[in-house]
Homo-oligomer: A and B are copies of this chain.
Amino acid sequence: MVNSICFLGPIGSFSHQAATMITGEKELIPKGTITDVFNSINDKECHEGLVPIENSLEGPVNETLDNLFYKNLFINLEIEVPINLVLASKNDKFNIVYSHPHAIQECRDYIVRKSLDKVIPVESTSRAAELASVDPNAAAICSEMAARIYNLRILDRNIEDNVNITRFFLISRKETKEGNKSSLIFTVPHTSGSLYHVLGKFYEEKINLSMIYSRPLKSIPWRYYFYVEYEGNKNERLLEKLREVTTSLSFKGSYSKFLNNNSGF
């Protein structure tokens, strides 16, 4: 293990694209699921992992939130990647288009405008690119990176209907305590006003919350844990105040946003 990063695969996925943005000399290892990425870090197979946390249209990535809740790992860096999709193929002429159901959804206007009527859903946009690379009658809706990996010609760029950004996290076993933002996960007592009292502690300390998501506790139906991101570093005084009004509290790391001149890849 020489400073390796595992990511949510396959090769050519948007997680792969995010990993290459920060990678330097590190070894990149694709994994089949988000949970596999977390397990690889826990088991010390990998040093760090790259997983999606939230999409600007679809919302949170539940598998990432649940792994952050159940595992003692930390967020070290945030990377925003615009989800730009391309239409790509071996030939100019094709009669089938492969893509992932989400990508098909996101290009619905384009598909109607271009009268692409035979659109086949497959398990990933990378798989779509792979299929188009071996079928001369097929095209793929995929990332520019996947099109390049499978030697496809790009026929059209930015074919998605809306601005669509995914945030990724670089995670590891190392707790980082400084950055523009920090993440916490907590549960609250089953009493009236419990979440209100927790948010009151942030307000007292003049700390801005940038996001709050709730997720079910799998052990008890209709009970929840909360994931929040706030502006600023790890703050011991805030944590001490929050301990008074929560039933469990985990600090999940402070981190800044990775800046890249060519974020469009």
Count of A interface residues, CB-CB < 8 Å: 32
Contacts of A206 in B (CB 8 A): 192
Segment 207-232 of A: residues with Cβ below 8 Å from B: 208-216, 218, 221-222, 224
The answer to whether A211 touches B214 (Cβ under 8 A) is yes
Task: State in angstroms the CA–CA spacing of A209 and B226 once bound together.
Answer: 14
Interface membership of A29, Cβ < 8 A: no
Closest 8 CB pairs of A and B: A56-B221, A196-B199, A193-B203, A196-B203, A59-B216, A57-B218, A192-B208, A165-B221
Decide: A214 near B216, CB < 8 A? Known: A59-B62, A192-B206: no
Interface membership of A195, Cβ < 8 A: yes
**24 examples of A-B residue contacts, CB within 8 angstroms:** A54-B216, A55-B216, A56-B221, A56-B222, A57-B216, A57-B218, A58-B216, A59-B215, A59-B216, A162-B218, A193-B199, A193-B202, A193-B203, A195-B212, A196-B196, A196-B202, A196-B203, A199-B199, A210-B222, A211-B214, A212-B214, A213-B213, A213-B214, A214-B214
Interface membership of A163, Cβ < 8 A: yes
Contact of A195 among B162, B209, B224 (CB under 8 A): B209
Task: State in angstroms the CA–CA spacing of A53 and B195 once bound together.
Answer: 22
Copies of this polypeptide in the complex: 2
Decide: A192 near B196, CB < 8 A? Known: A57-B218, A163-B221: no
Interface membership of A200, Cβ < 8 A: yes
Contacts of A192 in B (CB 8 A): 203, 206, 208
Q: Tell me, rounded to whole Å, the shortest Cβ–Cβ distance linking A58 to chain B.
A: 7
Q: A56-B216, A59-B216, A192-B208 are in contact. List 15 more A-B contacts (CB 8 A).
A: A55-B216, A56-B218, A57-B218, A59-B62, A163-B221, A165-B221, A193-B202, A193-B203, A195-B199, A196-B202, A196-B203, A211-B214, A211-B224, A212-B214, A214-B214
